Amino acid sequence: MSSNLKDKAKTAANKAAAMGEDIDLAKFTRTAEPQQYETDPSRLDAATKNKMLEAGVILDDPRARTGTFIQIDNTPIHSSVKQDGVEVMPVSQAMQKYNWLGDYYWKAVAVDTDKFTASVELGQNDGYFIRTAPGTKTDFPVQACLYLSKANLAQNVHNIIIAEENSELHIITGCATSLGNEPGLHMGVSEFYIKKGAKVTFTMIHSWNPEFAVRPRTAAIIEDNGLFLSNYVLMKPVHTIQTNPVARCNGENATARFNSVLVATPGSNMDVGSRVYLNGKASRTEIISRAITTGGYITARGYIEGNAPDVKGHLECRGLLLENKGAIHAIPELKGTLPGIDLYHEAAVGKIAEEEVEYLMARGLTRDEATATIVRGFLRVDIEGLPPMLSEELQRAIKDSEKDLM
Amino acid sequence: MLEIKDLKVAIEGKEILHGVNLTIKSGETSVLFGPNGSGKTTLLMTIMGFPRYQVTGGAIIFRGQDITHTSLDERARLGIGISFQRPPVVRGVKTRDMVLAAMKDKSQPDAVNTLAGKSDLLDFLDRDINHGFSGGEIKRSELMQLLAQQPEMVLLDEPESGVDLENIALIGRLINELLQKGSPMHGRNAMGLIITHTGHILEYVNARNGYIMLDGLIGCMGDPREILTEIKNRGYEQCAQCTFRSAQHVF
């Protein structure tokens, strides 16, 4: 099986992605010095911990975390878990432990999607495996950090997440780098399997640098009554990112929700979307994206396809231009293949309405205060289904980044 | 005291107010009648200081200070407040945020709940401001924000429009609190200028003076209820004739 995958990957090794600017992989190195395993990640140096904290990964006081996985460059340096019924380990370890993992490996994302999936299969720099046993509900989120410290490195990670029947799993993933202004490339494949009645919330915060290239490839398969809730926050500079995670709501009453908050500073080029296939009867989805540019370029995509009776989908792309430079290109798409489906979208791109600014100024706020309040409100996404603690953390991450924006 | 002297105002180059004179003393409430397009809202928006309304002549004096060219937010902080007739929806900005932003005394944020309670808007505090609000809810929300702001000069643009009969009494109570009607006249600072089409609000709020605005000029000062009866009986056309006679006067 593995050689088949490798052969298939090789056929796509030079295949450009369907979206986003092409990247010459030859410019990046694939090797990095192995990192030392750390049983107590609070002993990592303060600068590294701070960078990880910016991406929502708490190492000094992990009481509010069920488990932790950290990978620096190509080496998983820590994995631990505190709750029975929850597994957190490097995916290489999981492959050795479970023969059946092959049933999940490259089953949600096609290995020959493009040169980046091919690179992940051929490069094999580990990644995380997280699984909840049937009926287990995580007390606190599991946190995972994918970190890059070596300049010009291409990091290839493959993550597999399985929520068994009727389990509930909350994950917060922080992707960050210690590199100030040196280039790097992060390629991450994440495959989610959400079984009957299971619920997964996946909150991902990215904190890269202005020279960084990022190509995540994510897909989720959701069975009957399952829920996949994905929140993505990218408010720090990045050179280029292109991602278009896919959710397949294959089960009856399966639900997928995507929320994205994007801020593009000058020099940042973001092509971020979400794609949902409503294949199960009465399955539903909501895709909400908020995009702000202060000079960068954002393509905000959304695609919903209704292929089963009684499905519902709502897509909302809203973009705000704060400066007279940069651009936001919203591309909402809907496709229905049978009658009786209910899909709709809203998209709006523009500057802050003067009427709204004046409304707040009439209450005594200065123009700057009024603008800041409106921007803060724009970025506030009320996320249904996210536990209050995670919701607070997410809002805090957004608020911290707002300081750079104003 | 608010004094408006020979105020001329243009919107996008077109003169709308042609020399308005009006004085409102501390503690007094005045009512402004007039047909659609006569310039009533323009007058209120100009007093508040919205940039779209360009003052081309005359002056606005508030508590002895010439504020004719003072900015909108500065006027709000000086003590002028307005209830919007059709306020915008601001997505993501909660009603609670607006009340807190407006609050004059920021040392007691819990007062938001008290204000929401008396405005019957407790369930609206965590909703986006004005999003999906009915006409009556918008009016109550506007008054709640003004109660937080505690302005000395209260500008109300048709506070009863779109409000059902059940709610109009509540609107009246909120306005009376805003205008400190519970205090004796000599202890009151708050002044009010209320635009009304129907005059329903006069059943709940006492006003000392009434004015009619026609074609960008004010005329016919008098008892508001008498003016209302006159308008009902004879229409604005008859008032127009009166206006020609009274336009020479400075109120």
SS3 A99: helix
Residues of B with CB under 8 A from a CB of A: 48, 50-51, 71-73, 76-77, 81-82, 84, 87-88, 90-94, 97-98, 101-102, 128, 145, 149
Q: What pLDDT is recorded for position A163?
A: 98
Hey, of A316, A354, A363, A369, which one would you mutate to test binding to chain B, going by the most B CBs within 10 A of its CB?
A: A363
Q: For residues B173 and B181, is the Cβ–Cβ distance under 8 A?
A: no
Please count the other Cβ atoms lying within 10 Å of the Cβ belonging to residue A96: 11
- Of B98, B199, B176, nearest to B141 by C-alpha is B98
Please count the other Cβ atoms lying within 10 Å of the Cβ belonging to residue A140: 18
CB spacing of B76 vs A361 below 8 angstroms:
yes
Query: Does residue A365 belong to the interface with chain B, where contact is any CB pair within 8 Å?
Result: yes
CB spacing of A359 vs B84 below 8 angstroms:
yes
| Residues on chain B touching A367 (C-beta within 8 angstroms) | 73
Amino acid at B127: R
pLDDT band at B107 (very low <50, low <70, confident <90, very high): confident
Query: Mean pLDDT, chain B, as a whole number?
Result: 89
Please count the other Cβ atoms lying within 10 Å of the Cβ belonging to residue A258: 25
CB spacing of B97 vs A370 below 8 angstroms:
no
Q: Is the pLDDT score of B194 beyond 70?
A: yes
Q: What pLDDT is recorded for position B113?
A: 92
- A318 DSSP β-pair partners: A290, A348
- Of B34, B43, B2, B35, nearest to B210 by C-alpha is B34
Predicted confidence (pLDDT) per residue in A187-240, tens digit: 999 999 999 999 999 999 888 899 999 999 999 999 999 999 999 989 889 999
> Minimum mean pLDDT among A100-114, B126-140, B220-234: which range?
B220-234
Q: For residues B49 and B70, is the Cβ–Cβ distance under 8 A?
A: yes
CB spacing of A377 vs B92 below 8 angstroms:
yes
Q: Is the pLDDT score of B245 beyond 80?
A: no
Q: Is the pLDDT score of B47 beyond 90?
A: yes
For the residues B76-91, what does the mean pLDDT come to?
A: 94
Partner-chain residue, chosen from B82, B93, B94, that has the shortest CB–CB distance to A362: B82
Hey, of B47, B52, B71, B72, which one would you mutate to test binding to chain A, going by the most A CBs within 10 A of its CB?
A: B72
Residue pairs spanning A and B at CB distance below 8 A? 66
- C-alpha triplet A321, A257, A377: angle, nearest 5°: 35
pTM of the model: 0.85
Q: What is the DSSP letter of A281?
A: T
CB spacing of A378 vs B91 below 8 angstroms:
yes
Q: Is the pLDDT score of B248 beyond 80?
A: no
SS3 A367: helix
In terms of phi and psi (left: phi > 0; alpha: psi -120 to 50; beta: otherwise), the region of B63 is: left
Query: Does residue A358 belong to the interface with chain B, where contact is any CB pair within 8 Å?
Result: yes
Within a 13 Å sphere around the CA of A113, how many CA atoms are in the beta-carbon half? 26
Tell me phi and psi for residue B111, to 5 degrees: -60, -20
Contacts of A125 (CB under 8 A, 6+ apart): A71, A73, A74, A155, A156, A157
Mean pLDDT, chain A cut into blocks of 10 residues (406 residues total): 85 95 94 92 91 87 90 95 96 96 96 96 93 95 94 95 98 90 94 98 91 96 97 91 98 97 93 98 96 94 97 95 93 95 94 95 94 89 69 74 66
For the residues B131-154, what does the mean pLDDT come to?
A: 94
- Of A333, A325, A331, A369, nearest to A351 by C-alpha is A325
Within a 13 Å sphere around the CA of A133, how many CA atoms are in the beta-carbon half? 6
Within a 13 Å sphere around the CA of A244, how many CA atoms are in the beta-carbon half? 19
Give the minimum alpha-carbon distance from A198 to chain B in angstroms, rounded to a whole number. 30
Q: What pLDDT is recorded for position A220?
A: 98
Q: For residues B219 and B211, is the Cβ–Cβ distance under 8 A?
A: yes
| Residues on chain A touching B97 (C-beta within 8 angstroms) | 373, 377
Give the minimum alpha-carbon distance from A381 to chain B in angstroms, rounded to a whole number. 7
Burial of A1 (0-12, 13-18, 19+ CB in 10 A): exposed
| Residues on chain A touching B92 (C-beta within 8 angstroms) | 374, 376-380
Q: What is the DSSP letter of A96?
A: H
For the residues B126-134, what does the mean pLDDT come to?
A: 94
What is d(CA B141, CA B154) in angstroms, rounded to the nearest whole number? 15
CB spacing of A356 vs B72 below 8 angstroms:
no
Q: Are strands B2-11 and B53-62 parallel, antiparallel or unpaired?
A: antiparallel
Q: What pLDDT is recorded for position B217?
A: 93
CB spacing of B82 vs A378 below 8 angstroms:
no
Q: What pLDDT is recorded for position A28?
A: 95
E strand or H helix that includes residue A110: none
Where are the extended beta strands (E) located within A23-167?
A: 67-72, 75-81, 86-90, 128-132, 142-148, 154-163
| Residues on chain A touching B141 (C-beta within 8 angstroms) | none
Query: Does residue A377 belong to the interface with chain B, where contact is any CB pair within 8 Å?
Result: yes
Token pair recorded at residue A130:
């997280």
pLDDT band at B251 (very low <50, low <70, confident <90, very high): very low
Helices (H), A12-140: 46-54, 91-97, 115-123
What is d(CA B29, CA B176) in angstroms, rounded to the nearest whole number? 10
ipTM of the complex: 0.93
CB spacing of B93 vs A374 below 8 angstroms:
yes
Percent of the residues in chain B that have a pLDDT greater than 90, as a whole number: 60
Angle between helices A367-379 and B95-102 (to 10 degrees): 160
Q: For residues B134 and B114, is the Cβ–Cβ distance under 8 A?
A: no
SS3 of B132-197: the string is CCCHHHHHHHHHHHHHHHCCCEEEEECCCCCCCHHHHHHHHHHHHHHCCCCCCHHHCCCEEEEECC
Q: What pLDDT is recorded for position B241?
A: 64
Q: What pLDDT is recorded for position A342?
A: 96
Query: What DSSP letter does each residue of chain B carry, written as one string?
Result: -EEEEEEEEEETTEEEEEEEEEEE-TT-EEEEE--TTSSHHHHHHHHHT-TTEEEEEEEEEETTEE-TT--HHHHHHHTEEEE-SSPPPEEEEEHHHHHHHH-S-TT-TTHHHHHHHHTT-GGGTTSEETTT--HHHHHHHHHHHHHHH--SEEEEE-TTTT--HHHHHHHHHHHHHHTTTTS-GGG---EEEEE-SS-GGGGTS--SEEEEEETTEEEEEE-HHHHHHHHHHHHHHHHHHHHHHHTTS--
What is d(CA A30, CA A27) in angstroms, rounded to the nearest whole number? 10
Tell me phi and psi for residue A224, to 5 degrees: -50, 130
Contacts of B217 (CB under 8 A, 6+ apart): B17, B18, B19, B20, B39, B243, B247
| Residues on chain B touching A383 (C-beta within 8 angstroms) | none
Q: What is the DSSP letter of A34?
A: P
Query: What DSSP letter does each residue of A379-405 carry, written as one string?
Result: H----TTS-HHHHHHHHHHHHHHHHHH
Percent of the residues in chain B that have a pLDDT greater than 70, as a whole number: 95
